[in-house]
Amino acid sequence: MFSQLTPITKTIIILNIAFFAVTLILQNFGIGINQWLVAYFPISPNFRFWQVFTHIFVSGNVINLLFNTIAFWSLGPVLEQVLGSKKFTILYLASGLGGFLLYNLWNFYEISQLTQYLNAQGYDIHEVYKFADLNYSGDKPIQTDNLEVKIAVQQLYNLLSAPIFGALGAIYGIITGFSTLFPNAKLMFLFIPFPIKAKYLVPLIISISVLIGILQSDFNNFSYYTQLGGALIGYLFIINWKKNNDHLIS
């Protein structure tokens, strides 16, 4: 069955599984490489330029990996055959980068607000950047008795040290691309026990994803912005492609 997958779909599935497996194996030997593969906010002390690309193949956990693999296995081959390997690859990578961009646009707003507030309170934000470095091993004291300032410092710290897992954003680009191209295709999807048209499936799973993110208690659960960014790129990419290639799917 695996041999029947189209070339790029097969390669991306293998890369996603390999990234996850290697990270897990090395962690068992006390070697942490995940921080070098995931992405961070560009001015975070943990950011490295290659993370813009490597994070696209990193899944957050086993459930994410399972979701990504099933969705990509189901939809990738059809989309790759229609678009061609080159454009399919561009769609996947662009969706991952779109998720990275939207997530960090929100982070930029949040960090700007927090930085402005802390500067107005006379707090040295350079200390927060130092503590946010994952290689920093000293104490991380918050030098204030002001509760609001403490909360703002913790929020800024979390934003600078929170990783971005981009595989899900790229997968959302593929799911949205497929539903845009084949809106009336009926799909069986994970926990939904009956076929549902693709044009209804995408809004449903995006809404569920956003709702889960909003309901989570940790303020820094804006990872759904990577999914929304990937979905937006997938939609725009296919709309643009259809303008010149409607004769191929008519």
pLDDT in tens, 201-229: 777 777 766 666 566 544 445 567 888 89
pLDDT in tens, 19-63: 999 999 998 888 888 889 999 999 999 999 999 999 999 988 888
Mean pLDDT of 160-173: 91
Domain that holds residue 196: 2-248
Structural contact between residues 81 and 68, judged by C-beta atoms closer than 8 angstroms: no
The tally of domains found in the chain comes to 1
State yes or no: pLDDT of 79 exceeds 70. yes
139 or 12, higher pLDDT: 12
pLDDT in tens, 182-194: 988 877 665 566 7
Token output for 161 = 């040290």
Nearest by Cα to 44 from 137, 139, 108: 108
Q: Give the per-residue pLDDT at 12.
A: 95
Of 25-29, 118-122, 172-176, 221-225, give the lowest mean pLDDT range: 221-225
What is the pLDDT confidence band of residue 150, given thresholds at 50, 70 and 90? very high
Q: Give the per-residue pLDDT at 28.
A: 85
Q: Could you tell me what percent of the chain has a pLDDT over 70?
A: 88
Q: CATH code at 48?
A: 1.20.1540.10
Torsion sign, CA atoms 85, 88, 92, 95:
positive
Mean pLDDT of 226-241: 92
In 29-146, where does DSSP find H-type helix?
Answer: 34-37, 51-54, 62-83, 85-120, 125-132
Token output for 85 = 């390997």
Q: Give the per-residue pLDDT at 156.
A: 94
Q: Could you tell me what percent of the chain has a pLDDT over 90?
A: 53
Mean pLDDT of 144-155: 91
Map residue 118 onto helix, strand or coil.
helix
Listed ranges 25-39, 112-126, 128-142; the one with the highest mean pLDDT: 112-126
Of 113-122, 137-146, 178-187, 232-241, give the lowest mean pLDDT range: 137-146
How far apart are the C-alpha atoms of 164 and 63, rounded to whole Å? 16
